[in-house]
Structure 1
């Protein structure tokens, strides 16, 4: 009779151990799923760039390139005859709605990644069949302030991109996260000693593109970007601000106006000085024109 209570006690202990083991397995399973979903595991991509999905699931930009061509939208690209060289580089990064059709000889025809300002999103949507269907292999990375990119239904640009993601499920559309936007502000302040908000400036699409290129590329060749001293040289070339808008304001005029405006401007010239500094620490070179680093 004494053996029976011992058996029952053993069974209870065994059942308790089994329940504890099951709870531990469930907990570890939860951690694995969480890591896969939120990017805390390995090979989960760049956390600062989150895909816009209709199902709301987290998916970060998972792209790495040995070599990248970052193609400026500057008028410097006109008559550069760099198209063949650009197309032979592993990944080609462009900005906003800069076209390739009709300019292939100078800027190439391939586009791997296109970094887009919130203000340029309507221009892409205006030609949505081309950008989100014909160019479905292109990855779009969109930046913008919180008021336009908020995801609570009150962000007009985010809502527009969400609509494109639903309409074109194969389109790869990513948004720079709020945390990454703040990180870029901190980078600007660390490089200049100035608070971006207090100076009344906005970071340019070029700035976010350079940050992304350093995140995803081992080596970067920048085409068509002038250095910070170009506009002060007496013998500088006079070109349009964009190679595809040849009757608009000149590049240097645009840079000088933005650099000196008190509120709402881009600090293009200051940013070029930052890029020159980055080029001493990263594998970055500049062509058409070349930079004397």
Structure 2
């Protein structure tokens, strides 16, 4: 019995092993393992249906043509090329680069030298002859001799009036007209870099209307006054004797007479004295006043001087008041007519001359009415009447109205 059981066990074990091996073979053929089968999700189906990836590198993109591409410069504010080329540093136009008015360009000569220097004056012979004939001095001295003596008393000027891109030199030329009374222009006048006054101008007691600053004071012997230290005394020499007077008034005091009694001594800073070039007189006479009269007025000379030494000019207090009366703002007698006519030049003519050419100055000067004027006019180049400082290079403020008939 026992041997039969052993035999069965021996036969059963191989049979079991055979069945196990056969079962594994069937599973491999008909039921692949899950770990080896592809995923059956939606995403995996899409991936399986997509074409194989192209591993070839993409070619470089062709840049768009320049016309289609927006440059960086287009995104930035445009640069004012005119401002870059401007000779002065003013935000608006400079007098030295004005070219919009043919009339102005035909009158303005940038090559003119407004002040006398100790050397290289290059006097035009015809202009010098004309100047020497304005008023006889009663001596036989030459201009060179008188100048040599003068520059031993005063310092030769070193200032350079050429415009600079880093500077904007604003100048106020302040006349003595009675129309400045109750104008309230004082603060506006003082806001300029330079404030130019003339003759016997006073500021004390009139600061609200005319300001209290002075950087340049124009005068000639017969209108001379003392000037504070730091202020430039600007001599307008109408004759050779005036240069002799200047040397004397700042040193010995010997010259006491010209054609009339004059102030024999003047207090002034010798290092800041300027003398207007005699040739400049002829230039103003020929170009600006059309050779009317014997020579131009002090006011006209001061304005044209400013045009050649400043980048922007504002002019205050020229001509008559709103009633047509000519008088100084410090005078109580408004009917004095102190400076309407001098016998050698006419303020009326200078006014008329500029009024007639106002159209040619429209691109250079801004004309604005004010309560002080009925008509814009003055013994000057043109007029702006405003309570605000204009950015235009040449403005006129507080000037004369139309003359009464």
TM-score interval, smaller chain: 0.5 to 0.7
- Residue 62 (1) aligns with residue 148 (2): no
- Offset of residue 141 of structure 1: 1.1
Aligned to 1:237: 323
| CA positional deviation for 1:83 | 0.6
Q: Residue 242 of structure 1: CA displacement?
A: 0.6
Match of 2:333 among 240, 243, 247: 247
Task: Give, in angstroms, the shift of residue 90 of structure 1.
Answer: 1.9
Q: Deviation of residue 202 (structure 1)?
A: 3.5
Once the two structures are superposed, what CA deviation does each residue of 1:31-58 show, in whole Å capped at 9, x if it has no partner? xxxxxxxxxxxxxx98331365326774
Q: Which residue of 2 aligns with 1:5?
A: none
Partners of 2:179 and 2:399 within 8 A in 1: yes
| Pairing of 1:115-154 with structure 2 (within 5 A) | 115-121=218-224, 124=225, 128=226, 131=227, 135-150=228-243
Cα distance between partner residues in 2 of 1:166 and 1:270: 33
Question: Quick one: distance in 1 between partners of 2:267 and 2:189?
Answer: 31
Cα distance in 2 for residues equivalent to 1:169 and 1:141: 11
Structure 1 runs (4+) deviating above 6 angstroms are: 164-167
Show the counterpart of 1:285: 395
Give the equivalent residue in structure 2 for 1:86.
189
What is the Cα deviation at residue 174 of structure 1?
A: 1.3
2:249 is aligned, of 160, 164, 169, to 160
Secondary structure at the counterpart of residue 217 of structure 2: strand
Other-structure match for 2:309: 216
Task: Determine if the alignment matches structure 1 residue 177 to structure 2 residue 260.
Answer: no
Higher relative contact order (CA 8 A, sep 6+): 1
Secondary structure of the residue aligned to 2:335 is: coil
Q: For the structure 1 residues 288 and 140, does the alpha-carbon distance in structure 2 shift closer, same or farther, using more than 3 Å as the test?
A: same
**TM-score, normalising length: structure 1:** 0.60
Does structure 2 conserve the Cα–Cα contact (< 8 Å) formed by 1:69 and 1:89? Answer: yes
Give the structure-2-normalised TM-score: 0.45
Q: Which has the higher helix share?
A: 1
Q: Partners in 2 of 1:290 and 1:211 — Cα distance?
A: 19
Aligned residue among 348, 354, 374 for 1:269? 348
Give, in whole Å, the separation in 2 of the partners of 1:79 and 1:109: 15
1:204 aligns with 2:297: yes
Q: CA deviation at 1:270?
A: 1.9
Contact 1:50-1:174 at 8 Å conserved across structures: yes
How far apart, CA to CA, are the structure 2 residues paired with 1:117 and 1:167? 14
Flag structure 2 segments of 5+ consecutive residues without an equivalent.
1-110, 118-149, 254-264, 366-392
Distance 2:287 2:158 in 1: 21
| Alignment CA distance shift 1:169-1:241 (3 Å) | closer
Tell whether the 8 Å contact from 1:238 to 1:250 is kept in structure 2 after alignment.
no
Q: Secondary structure at the match of 2:114?
A: strand
Which of the pair has more CA radius of gyration? 2
Q: Which region of structure 1 is more displaced relative to structure 2, 171-180 or 49-58?
A: 49-58
Contact between 1:53 and 1:162, CA under 8 Å: does it hold in 2?
Answer: no
Cα–Cα, structure 1 residues 166 and 145, in superposed 2: closer, same or farther, change >3 Å? closer
State the number of aligned residues.
213
Q: Secondary structure at the match of 1:73?
A: coil
Structure 1 residues without counterparts, runs of 5 or longer: 1-44, 259-263
How far did 1:94 drift?
0.9
Measured in 2, the distance between the counterparts of 1:225 and 1:169 equals 28
CA contact (8 A) 1:47 1:61 kept: no
Higher strand share: 1
Residue 76 of structure 1: CA displacement? 0.5
Q: Distance in 2 between matches of 1:167 and 1:138?
A: 11
Query: Cα distance 1:83–1:245, how it changes in 2: closer, same or farther (>3 A)?
Result: same
